[in-house]
Chains A and B, each alone.
Chain A
Amino acid sequence: MTRTAIKLRLNQQQLELIDNSVKAGEGGSREELIRRALREFASANLSQPGSNK
């Protein structure tokens, strides 16, 4: 299965926000939370998410 690695540049304050959300149970890890955001954002903003895959 093909996977793509993305490198996000984040500072310590932004990581604190992410880590707080992970601690609150919104995601199992930083990566899972970010992927959840992408999934839900795409669902809300793309007419046919994933149509070009």
Chain B
Amino acid sequence: MTASDRKLIRELTIERGTGKALELRRGQVLRIAQTSGRQCADFNCFNLHDYKEFFHTGRTRHLHGLHPTKGDFLWSAPPRERPMMAIIEDTVGTNDVLYPRCSAFLFEHQYGLPVHTNCHDIQAEAQREYGLTPDDVHDSFNFFMHTGVGTDGHPFIAKNTAGPGDYVELLALIDVLAVPNVCGADVMMTSDFELKPLKLTVFEASQADWAGVSEPPRLRNQRNPLQFKVKTIKADRELHRDPAYSPEFTNVPIEITDVDVELSAEETGWLSQLAATGQYGDTDAEVLRYVFFTWWIEQFMRGPKHVRRG
């Protein structure tokens, strides 16, 4: 039996500025795929039957480094510390568990944009379908986010290299509420200064999918609420969908406008030279957009710039 023997359960597209909470049972696979490419996908994950168990970037980073990929797990937070999902395919290899999710504060503080798509609010809005609050959004797994750490010790965001059709696949090892979202950062390097939809597909895993997953550890210190001195919380542990839920994502729909810029012969020459380096984009328009936003960040953005120097 091969991965192609999988049974298709669901296909959907998440549009720019949005995300979607998906119930996955143990043994189901979530594929997060690029449409036109170069799009970061932020991701949250909860135990479907106890939302107090959720994905933990810190433990995952501790065990798999800054760029987890195929063969690595998404771990839950202490004291649970179980592998919730396994990464069983990754066609790019540029994932990040270093950066926190972008937030409304960040765009207001650094860019002067008080109402802006951002991963925290997108996650909160998607999770609201299951009764979760903005305080329940946790640090994200950032798929297709190309990052590194410079010799000065500061992290940086590099150009997104995911191409059309690239994907990651996550196998649910427990029942989870999986929440991917289209990263809302269109004025950062994260998604190459353009928001694009992402395609989501849910499969029933094949035997071949399971065969590639190493046996995760089962230790006494992977605790559960039965071992807690205080066993109850002030909310139901089971996540119930709100049938009255209606999405209200910020600034959606994202609408594209073509802005005409007339360049002189001299300016066209500069643009051609920059394009010839191959570092800034595939078309003159992409190069000019890259140039504009990286210049703007350097000139006006408050706080750390998160770009590679030297």
Closest to B193 in A: A14
Take A4-B268, A6-B263, A17-B296 as given contacts and tell me if A38 and B291 are in contact as well, using a CB distance cutoff of 8 Å. yes
Cα(A38)–Cα(B262), bound, Å: 12
Closest to A6 in B: B261
How many cross-chain pairs have Cβ atoms below 8 Å apart between A and B?
Answer: 148
Pick the contact of A37: B256, B266, B285, B295 (CB < 8 A): B295
Cα(A49)–Cα(B113), bound, Å: 33
Chain B residues with Cβ below 8 Å from A37 are 291-292, 295-296
Q: Mark B265-276, 1 if CB is under 8 A from A, else 0.
A: 111111111100
Within residues 1 to 22 of chain A, which ones have a CB less than 8 A from any CB in chain B?
A: 1-18, 20-21
A42 and B273 within 8 A (CB): yes
B262 and A3 within 8 A (CB): yes
Chain A residues with Cβ below 8 Å from B116 are 13
B166 on the A face (CB < 8 A)? no
Within residues 83 to 112 of chain B, which ones have a CB less than 8 A from any CB in chain A?
A: 111-112
Chain A residues with Cβ below 8 Å from B264 are 1, 3
B133 on the A face (CB < 8 A)? no
Interface residues on B, range: 35 or more
Interface residues on A, range: 35 or more
Chain A residues with Cβ below 8 Å from B117 are 13
Chain A residues with Cβ below 8 Å from B282 are none
Cα(A1)–Cα(B229), bound, Å: 80
A35 and B187 within 8 A (CB): no
A42 and B288 within 8 A (CB): no
B194 on the A face (CB < 8 A)? yes
Pick the contact of B292: A1, A13, A34, A42 (CB < 8 A): A34
Cα(A17)–Cα(B295), bound, Å: 13
B195 on the A face (CB < 8 A)? yes
User: Which residue of B194, B258, B296 has the most chain A CB atoms within 10 A of its CB atom?
Assistant: B296
Chain B residues with Cβ below 8 Å from A30 are 259, 261
B294 on the A face (CB < 8 A)? yes
B residues in contact (CB < 8 Å) with A = 16, 111-113, 116-117, 186-187, 193-195, 251, 254-274, 284-285, 288-289, 291-296, 299-300
Other A-B contacts than A8-B285, A16-B113, 11 sampled, CB-CB below 8 A, are A6-B260, A7-B285, A8-B259, A8-B288, A12-B251, A30-B259, A31-B260, A35-B267, A41-B294, A53-B265, A53-B268
